[in-house]
Every structure is written in structure tokens, then in C-alpha cells.
Amino acid sequence: MVGAKWTAAEDASLASAVAVHGVRWRRVAAALHGRTAVATRLRWLRTAAVARPTADSSHSPAASPSVTTSPPASSWPTYAYRTKRDQTGGRPWNFHVRKIPCSGRQPTTRQATLLRMWRLDQPRSRPFLCNLHRAERLVRDYLERQGVPRHELREALLSTQLSVAQSDELGLAYWPGDVLHTITRSNSNLFWTCAPGGRRGFLTSPELASLMGLGRQGAVPAARRAGVKAYRLNGWLADSVPHRLAAHCAQIATESASPGEEWRVGSLFSGTFDALAEGFRASKVTTRRTFAAESDELRAEVLSAACAPEVLYPSVEHAARACPPVDALVASPPCKHVSRAGKGGRCHPSVMQHVRLICDTVRRARPRAVIIEQSDGLRTHRPAEYSQMCAMLDELGYVWHHTCVEAHADYRVPHRRKRLLWVGLRVDAP
């Protein structure tokens, strides 16, 4: 079949495989018998086409579900593959740490003991990075396998001495080129680095911002000028989204806009960096930051200094009631109650309350485009709420491009994290 023309059935199979495997072309090719990975990639790049909604579109909520199954021309996989050549975000962790030579904070007495007992305070032939939160869990699991009772694990952690070989066997450290595990608020302050040149200490906020793929944003300097403690700023950074991801969402949202056209952008659950709204700065439209909404006073102070929205509401409820007219509305609700860390308990009522606030704002403002970001835990650990949210979005009169992306696989950020994304285009928008 190599060299043969592609059939409609193969194109359909290709779309289904890409929806499952993303840009992992070898896996996609395995689902299409007789096609190579190179052939499937080229075919995908040539045939992906954006679905442009119109007033009489068959994608209206009454006619069919508004969540599209075929990615648009600016599709997640196509865009992600194209941006792999962007070396700024695609570099491994050691590039970002070396690029910003800083002196990180020194460990506490307990942390220094753990680093010494596990041979992580001694420079090696190559720089390495260790997350103490993850390292403690790995050593704890190791001690449990050795028969140490659970009530003695805390003391055993401080008295267990590991050789360099044992430390490497347990995988306590990341080496140059390794992809980091998910950076969360709980572990964001515990990345210890040690290099042959004498650098020893925890990562600083600028270094963590580079690892998160936030690009050159003014919020980090603004936070430091406002006197925000480094541990708090690092937690805020871990909650943010990569700039490249936000720029891609904005590219899809402005697909039908004219170059240089002015778009008014409003933001709910803005956070410190308002990363989703910042993504529009990289699109073909000019951006006017109409409003933002943030309830935390310190976050709001930093946001106002860094992004200067025209109106900064003290809560999402205030923004939903005022509802200024906007062309694009972005929302990144808190993931605390849908993340893996909270999977054991019942779903917090605020999860669906946030969804209802977003939907109410969309109904009032009727923006041309809507972008929503949430943790993948909503889909995996709260399937009932996830289905309810999709059903509520389907009733708004928008064509939704919905997917789950992974920070490293799709956007080449040097750490892993899955996120759910919705980009909605109004059916009757010009």
C-alpha cells in the first residue's frame, strides 16, 4: 500500500488514531495497516482543515453535538509538531537552569540531612536535579519493600544511608535530557540542583518559570517587587499554563479574524499571570485587555501591575454580573478539587459552580470565542461532572474544539502535565 492513494476510509481512520495518540506517528501508523509514520504525518498535515461555523451551520446545538471530533487546520497535533522546532521551550531542564545562573535558597536542617544521607549533596560528573517530594516517596516505597513498618518510616528516612549506586537505581535524580514529572504547587519549592561547577541549591522562581514554559512575562518581576515570598510565587507558577499552549488556543480562536483586528479579551479566574489571555499577544490580532477577575488580593496586585487590565474585578461573580462586552473570554478555574491529589473524596460543589459562572458569563457577553482550561483530573476522577460540563457547554451555541494535551508531548515543555482544553467559536460569529 506504500505510495497508493489515500482513501476516505483511511482518512477517517487517521483522524481517529490522531485523536487517540496525538503526534506519536508510529502509533498512528500502527493503526493504519500499510502506512508508514512519515506518510501518516504528511497526510495529516495536508488534510487537516478548520471547521468554519456559519449562521446556518449544521453544528448548531439543535442539529448535532457541538464538540468537534476532527481537529482544525490549527489543530493541536499539527501546531505542536510545528512548534517542536522552537528551541526556547523545547530545551531540556538543564538548559533552562544553566541559562539563568542564580543562587537558590539553601535547604533546611531536615532537608540537608536527607540530601547528605542519599548522596545528593555531592557534585557528579554531570548536573542533576532532584525533587525532594518525589525522592522521599521513592525512598519510602523502597523502605516498605525492605519490611520497615509504616509507623517507623519517618525516622527511617532520616537514618537510611544510600550509596550513589542505590540512589541512581531508585531514580532519585533527573539527568540532562530527562523529562520532569508534573510540577505541582506542593513540589514546586523542592527542586534541588547540583552541578560540577559548584552550583547547589533549590531552583529560583525565574528558573521555575522557564521550566513551566511561561516565556518572558512581567509577572515574575512584578511579584518580586511586590514582596511576594519565593515559595508562594513558585506555587503560583506551578498552577499556570505554558505560553505556547495559550498562544495555540488564541490562534484557533482568531482563525477567522482579520490581521491587526482589535479584540477585546476578558478573563475569569485570571490568577497571577492570566496566561490564557496573554496568549492573544502572540496571535494575529491586537489585544485590548477589557477585564480580569481575581479574588486573591496579592495575586490581583501582581496581575494589575503586570498586565494592567482596564477593569479588575474582585471576584468572578462580580465579573459575571457586570459582564462587559468582549470578543474573547478565557477561563482557567481552580483545579484543586479535581486534581489527582483530591481524587479520594466527594466532588466539591464549587467545581460545578465555577462551570455555571462561566456559562452565565458566556450567555450574557456572547463573545466570538471562548477558551477554557482545566486539569485532566476532571475527566479521569470526576467523570460525572466532566460529562455534565460538556453538556452545559453544548447548550451555549458554540462549536467546541475540545482535547486533552500533554505539556511535553504536545508543546515540548520539559515537564509532564495533562490538561483539558476547550476552544469555542460562536456559531453566528463573522
Closest of 411, 420, 422 to residue 80, by C-alpha:
411
Residue 267 or residue 199, greater confidence: 267
Residue 95: predicted pLDDT: 86
Residue 226: predicted pLDDT: 85
- How many other CB atoms are there within 10 angstroms of residue 12's CB atom? 11
Task: Flag the least confident range among 22-31, 175-184, 397-406, 415-424.
Answer: 22-31
Q: Averaged over 231-239, what is the pLDDT?
A: 92
The 10s digit of each residue's pLDDT in 303-336 is 888 888 899 999 999 998 888 899 999 999 988 7
Radius of gyration of the chain (CA): 23
> Looking at the predicted structure, is the pLDDT value of residue 48 above 90?
no
What are the strands of the beta sheet with 262-268, ordered from one edge?
67-68, 398-406, 418-426, 369-375, 328-331, 262-268, 286-293, 311-313
Residue 348: predicted pLDDT: 66
Task: Give kind and range of the element (H or E) at residue 251.
Answer: helix 243-253
Phi, psi of 296 (to 5 degrees): -75, 125
Give the pLDDT band of residue 276 (cuts 50, 70, 90): very high
Closest of 53, 54, 27, 57 to residue 40, by C-alpha:
27
Residue 58: predicted pLDDT: 32
Boundaries of every domain in the chain? 8-43, 49-76+241-426, 89-237
CATH number for the segment(s) 49-76+241-426: 3.40.50.150
According to DSSP, residue 375 is labeled E
> Looking at the predicted structure, is the pLDDT value of residue 246 above 70?
yes
> Looking at the predicted structure, is the pLDDT value of residue 55 above 50?
no
Residue 50: predicted pLDDT: 34
Give the pLDDT band of residue 149 (cuts 50, 70, 90): very high
Going by their DSSP bridges, the two strands 369-375 and 311-313 should be labelled as unpaired
How many Å apart are CA 64 and CA 245, to the nearest integer? 28
The C-alpha cell of 316 is what?
468572578
H helices within 62-173, ranges in order?
Answer: 76-82, 87-90, 93-99, 109-117, 132-145, 153-159, 164-170
